[in-house]
Amino acid sequence: MAESNREDGPVELSGLAARIEALFHTVRRPDREQYTNEEVARACREATGESFSTTYLWQLRTGRRDNPTKRHLEALAQFFQVPPAYFFDERQGAEIAKELALLGALRDAGVRSLALRAVGLSSEGLDTVSELIDVIARRDAARRHPAP
């Protein structure tokens, strides 16, 4: 995941920055809008009683700082309602990221509608739907990236 930076060129997000950024993109306010850095920083300050500025959070999100304290990561985990292991354990972090991606996809009304309609289908029916999705995904990929 890359972040554009006009002054320094593109910045490649580290594992930590990418994970924090994924939380912002997936976990939303009740009105479905993204949380702002200020909202999250304020909540983390209140949770830890420690300094946690909007700028510091921006630096963590963009990879400009990558060595936060354990308490800061625990506060972020608490705010976004993920286990702290999301930041500390590579294997668990990957599993949690998959679950977050699924939740993010289910936020899309079309995906949610399709998933709800698939409830109750037989195993054979689910296999057929899965095969159709694979065919459509390959067709869409070929359209986006035609062979030379």
Domain shared by 115 and 98, yes or no: no
pLDDT of residue 91: 86
* C-beta separation of 140 from 132 below 8 A: no
Domain shared by 56 and 118, yes or no: no
E-state strands within the chain: 2-3, 11-12
In whole angstroms, what is the distance from residue 118 CA to residue 102 CA? Answer: 15
Shortest CA distance to 82 belongs to which of 91, 92, 70, 90? 92
E-state strands within 21-71: none
pLDDT of residue 51: 87
Mean pLDDT for the stretch of residues 46-60: 91
Amino acid at site 63? G
Q: How many domains is the chain partitioned into structurally?
A: 2
Domain shared by 81 and 140, yes or no: no
Tell me the residue range of the domain where 145 lies: 108-148
Tokens 């899965």 belong to 130
- Tens digits of residue pLDDT in 72-91: 999 999 999 899 989 988 88
pLDDT of residue 72: 92
Domain shared by 116 and 47, yes or no: no
